[in-house]
Amino acid sequence: MTPIDKSLLTGSTTMLILKLLEGTDMYGYQMIEELNLRSNNVFQLKAGTLYPLLHSLEQKDMLASYEKTVEQARVRKYYSLTAKGRKYLREKTEEWQVYTAAVNHVLGGGSFATT
Amino acid sequence: MTPIDKSLLTGSTTMLILKLLEGTDMYGYQMIEELNLRSNNVFQLKAGTLYPLLHSLEQKDMLASYEKTVEQARVRKYYSLTAKGRKYLREKTEEWQVYTAAVNHVLGGGSFATT
DNA sequence: TTCTATATATAGATGATCTATATAAGGAGG
DNA sequence: CCTCCTTATATAGATCATCTATATATAGAA
């Protein structure tokens, strides 16, 4: 078993964003709402967290973006998954499973003395 | 469903340490080895992470410590769970379950268009 | 004697997330 | 009409967990 990427502990946000985009292209504000909805209000992602994250993911070619004007004048910036982003999502999802399995193993391991 | 403590994403280390001590009193170095063992090498906690964490947990009355001299001259600092630490462990374990359930719900949610 | 493992400790860097703030346009209520 | 709330994106600065690097000291192995 290889050691897991430490940033997963804190970095599950990226994985969740990519997962949302696996379904449809979305714009930032919509992602915040969707995550909140699909997680039963557990994830209340802040705009100040999301937008810089989207920019950095686009820079890394995980995401591509395009603008779309809706209802008269409002402009939204839609994001879509790239092939690279799709691959990254697969990897992170696997790591997440390894990580949670390990935590649950420790948590469920009961109290056996090892003195 | 109340929003979860954000530090859980990154803060599962504290929970795991407390969980170890639920079984027996342990000294720092031993915790690193035990975590590595019980998690199949997924958690390779660094000394530079653990010791400051133990100090801060002791300051917050989550842990109590005592020294013990073993094999001639070697001195080890053992830590034990306090009542407060035990309570905190229960709370964090619950939050962990809520958090992982939410992530898994998003991950398993499939790709249904919400355009 | 030198290297590795045991054992604890602290300083400084990194990185993810948050708060606060800014801009701008639309709709609702007074 | 004016003000407030929601939608929508954006950036600067703060916070906090963890990591790397380093230090000290002892024991045992090469």
> Residues A54-109: pLDDT tens digits?
999 999 999 999 999 876 667 899 999 999 999 999 999 998 998 899 999 999 97
DSSP state at residue A20: H
Environment class of residue B58 by beta-carbon count within 10 Å: exposed (0-12), middle (13-18) or buried (19+)?
Answer: middle
Nucleotides of D under 7 A from a protein CB: 7-13, 16-23, 26-28
B40 Rama sector, left if φ>0, alpha if ψ -120 to 50, beta otherwise: left
Confidence of residue A40 (pLDDT cuts 50, 70, 90): confident
The answer to the question of residue A107 being in a domain is no
Rg (CA), chain A: 17
Which secondary-structure segment (H or E) carries A105?
Answer: helix A83-108
Q: Which domain holds residue B53?
A: 7-103
CATH label of the domain that carries residue A74:
1.10.10.10
**Measured on CA atoms in the order B8, B1, A27, A62, is the torsion positive or negative?**
positive
- Classified as helix, coil or strand, A68 is strand
A103 shares contact with chain B (CB less than 8 Å): yes
Number of domains in chain A: 1
